[in-house]
Amino acid sequence: MSKIKLIAIDVGGTLIDDNNNIPPENIEILKRVKKQGLKIALVTARMLSSTKYISNVIECDYGVYGNGSNIINLNNNKVLYLEKLSNKNLERLINFGKKEGLYIHLNQVFQEVSDQKKYFALKHILLNKKYPSNLQSNVEVVSSLKDYINNTDNIVKLVFVSKNNLDAIKEKITKEFSDIFITEYNKNLNETAINEIINYIEIGAKATTKAEGVKKLANILNLNQEEILVIGDGNNDIEMFKSFKNSGCLKNGTSEAKANANYVSEKINNEGGLNEIIEYYLNKEEE
């Protein structure tokens, strides 16, 4: 097999534990592979703003954010790829979300915005208390989302959040908005930082996926498929597992994700299962 040169890692349920910390085993092995010359990329639905601390701890090289909508070289913060929502669609979506009584979260390249201090905004505000000031999330609570979008044009994603089931909302979005795409729908997510079980729908300008984002990064870095190891735990990681033969899923992953990965760890994320997957593939190279 080709020697692995890039490890692409999901964040929640994979790199970090259920308390939003990185297990020491994961930090140790990622620093070791960095010394061996491998590159590390975060591949996540999250944005740069809310992963700065994590990226710094593991000396991450690249970020594939917003489920493939945004790629950044973290060594110089250069944007390598970006898909943006139009202000016209943003205004329509904000009106829709307000009418349905939903929490609305806007993801930008370097900042996240809401008009309510709850759910994702509150999560980042609370987590910031653990981080040094230069590595805190750039999260802002504004009085008017409509006024905010009139002064910017770089919104990558819009996210609707509720404690209630969003199946009916998802159907309405599909019927009413023909030129936007639901890039992730997560049900019953346990957000331990805010002690809430939530549901959310993420919306983007194109039907991007983590797999497409990693492929774009591979082209930029001139890497072939066998030189990349992808690791995750959720259904939005399945396309990555199908696209790259070097793939690992955490034991705590969904049944669908585990069925599509080429290796499933015996340890969960809280026990350093990421470490186990990387060790497996490094040992496989030496056989």
Query: 146, 180, 204: which is the final residue of a domain?
Result: 204
Give a yes or no: residue 38 inside a domain: yes
Give a yes or no: residue 1 inside a domain: no
Specify whether 43 is located in the same domain as 70: yes
Give a yes or no: residue 60 inside a domain: yes
Specify whether 67 is located in the same domain as 94: no
**What pLDDT score does 2 carry?**
63
> Could you tell me which of 151, 152, 120 has the C-alpha nearest to residue 137?
120
Give a yes or no: residue 235 inside a domain: yes
Tell me: pLDDT of 154 over 90: no
Radius of gyration of the chain (CA): 18
On average, the pLDDT of the chain sits at 94
Tell me: pLDDT of 133 over 60: yes
Range of the domain at 102: 87-204
Rounded to an integer, the average pLDDT of 64-87 is 94
- For the chain, what is the domain count? 2
**What pLDDT score does 254 carry?**
96
Q: Answer for the pair 189, 200: CB distance below 8 angstroms, yes or no.
A: yes
**What pLDDT score does 178 carry?**
83
Confidence of residue 1 (pLDDT cuts 50, 70, 90): very low
Neighbouring residues of 287: CB distance < 8 A, sequence distance ≥ 6: none
Tell me: pLDDT of 124 over 70: yes
Query: 156, 176, 204: which is the final residue of a domain?
Result: 204
CATH of the domain at 194: 3.30.1240.10
Specify whether 92 is located in the same domain as 186: yes
Specify whether 180 is located in the same domain as 91: yes
CATH of the domain at 25: 3.40.50.1000
Specify whether 224 is located in the same domain as 281: yes
d(CA 251, CA 5): 24
Give a yes or no: residue 236 inside a domain: yes
Specify whether 93 is located in the same domain as 200: yes
To 10 degrees, the CA torsion angle through 59, 62, 64, 70?
Answer: 130
Give a yes or no: residue 245 inside a domain: yes
Specify whether 92 is located in the same domain as 200: yes
Rounded to an integer, the average pLDDT of 133-160 is 94
String of DSSP letters for 24-42: HHHHHHHHHHHHTT-EEEE
Tell me: pLDDT of 273 over 50: yes
d(CA 60, CA 242): 24
Rounded to an integer, the average pLDDT of 233-253 is 96
d(CA 234, CA 159): 18
Specify whether 177 is located in the same domain as 256: no
Confidence of residue 237 (pLDDT cuts 50, 70, 90): very high
Give a yes or no: residue 116 inside a domain: yes
Confidence of residue 287 (pLDDT cuts 50, 70, 90): low
Query: 204, 220, 246: which is the final residue of a domain?
Result: 204
Rounded to an integer, the average pLDDT of 20-34 is 95
Query: pLDDT tens digits, residue range 10-26?
Result: 999 999 999 989 999 99
Specify whether 78 is located in the same domain as 215: yes
pTM assigned to the model? 0.87
d(CA 149, CA 201): 20
Rounded to an integer, the average pLDDT of 83-93 is 94
